[in-house]
Amino acid sequence: MAGDLLDEPAFQLRETPEGILECTLRGDLDRDDLVPLFTFLDTYYQTHRDVLFLNDFSQVGDVTLAARWYAAQKVKANRPFIKRSAVFGWPATWRVLGDVFVRVSGRKDVRPFASRDEAVRFLLDEQAA
């Protein structure tokens, strides 16, 4: 079922024709901006397993500490449902924070990429570890 699943001011969540769940975060984010996203994902994961998850951070502004902590906890809890996860669009200033986020979330399998195309290739590569 390719197409938009949720489209909010702070994010868009959609399924691509390749079966990838793609989340684009937008603008400045606080915890309350992310609650609808993770509430939806909690329900989505009840019927979907081995999800290929693509995160697009290219439109993100400032993210509060509360939002980061909330997201890290939810991402950690959702780990059993994710087959592979990729991130692209991290601003240079986020690279260190991104590493911290990945460690806090317990997700050592999240990989950053310079472009969307690279990230999609990784997600679809059955040989990727």
Q: Which residues pair with 7 in a beta bridge?
A: 12
Quick one: tokens of 70?
Answer: 């909330």
Q: Give CA–CA dist 71/95, Å, rounded.
A: 16
Residue ranges per structural domain of the chain: 3-124
The per-residue pLDDT for range 101-116, each reduced to its tens digit, is 555 555 556 778 889 9
The per-residue pLDDT for range 66-80, each reduced to its tens digit, is 998 999 899 889 999
3-124 is a CATH 3.30.750.24 domain: yes
Tokens 């950053």 found at: 112
**Residue 12: predicted pLDDT:** 98
The model's pTM is 0.85
